[in-house]
Amino acid sequence: MAIHITGDPAADKVLEESPFALLVGMMLDQQFPMERAFAGPAKVLERFGSLDPAAIAAADPDTFSELCRRPPAIHRYGGSMATRLQALAALVEQRYDGRAERLWSEAATGEELLARVMELPGFGKQKAQIFVALLAKQLGVRPPGWEAVVGDYALEGHRSVADVVDAESLQRVRDYKKQKKAAARSAAT
């Protein structure tokens, strides 16, 4: 299935071709527009020349940070995200032999998959739930029980990046998030 998250066919192709890129895009999806976060792996590939977890983990931290911070940066917090990206790469290299897809292809249940994703640097429960929903909805990765562990992110609609398939669905997700934030602010006052 084709991925259409970034609005840039070349960046989306990187996400399609590299499971690690998809994982990195989700890691970067924090306090930053989602389409720009998911375009981050393409920037790393262009500047660093590789998305190989072993190469990224072994890169000089200062040099790697500089290439992540260089405008346009991979994230508004390019330096801290470069550090987190290297930690993610090291974990994928050590635990999954550099093959990010093993994270989900070897998970027997939705619960196990969620637990594996939550072990990654930068992935709290909500982000892990969204990533599991993205895997299910866009890549067909649906271990038994995945719906239960992701909660409402399994439902039809436009709640998260898991539901983004084009520019229109991206806008619908944005509108949904705005409504949720407005409701939360209203409830707090």
Question: In a 10 Å sphere around its CB, with 0-12 CB exposed, 13-18 middle and 19+ buried, how is residue 180 labelled?
Answer: exposed
In this prediction, residue 1 carries a pLDDT of 64
Q: Which residues are CB-neighbours of 60 under 8 A, at least 6 positions away? A: none
Low-confidence ranges of the chain (pLDDT < 50): none
Question: Where are the alpha helices (H) located in 78-145, listed in sequence order?
Answer: 78-96, 102-105, 110-118, 125-139
The reported pTM is 0.94
Question: In a 10 Å sphere around its CB, with 0-12 CB exposed, 13-18 middle and 19+ buried, how is residue 52 labelled?
Answer: middle
In this prediction, residue 189 carries a pLDDT of 82
Helix (H) or strand (E) holding 9: helix 9-17
In this prediction, residue 180 carries a pLDDT of 85
Amino acid at 86: Q
SS3 at position 119: coil
Question: In a 10 Å sphere around its CB, with 0-12 CB exposed, 13-18 middle and 19+ buried, how is residue 168 labelled?
Answer: exposed
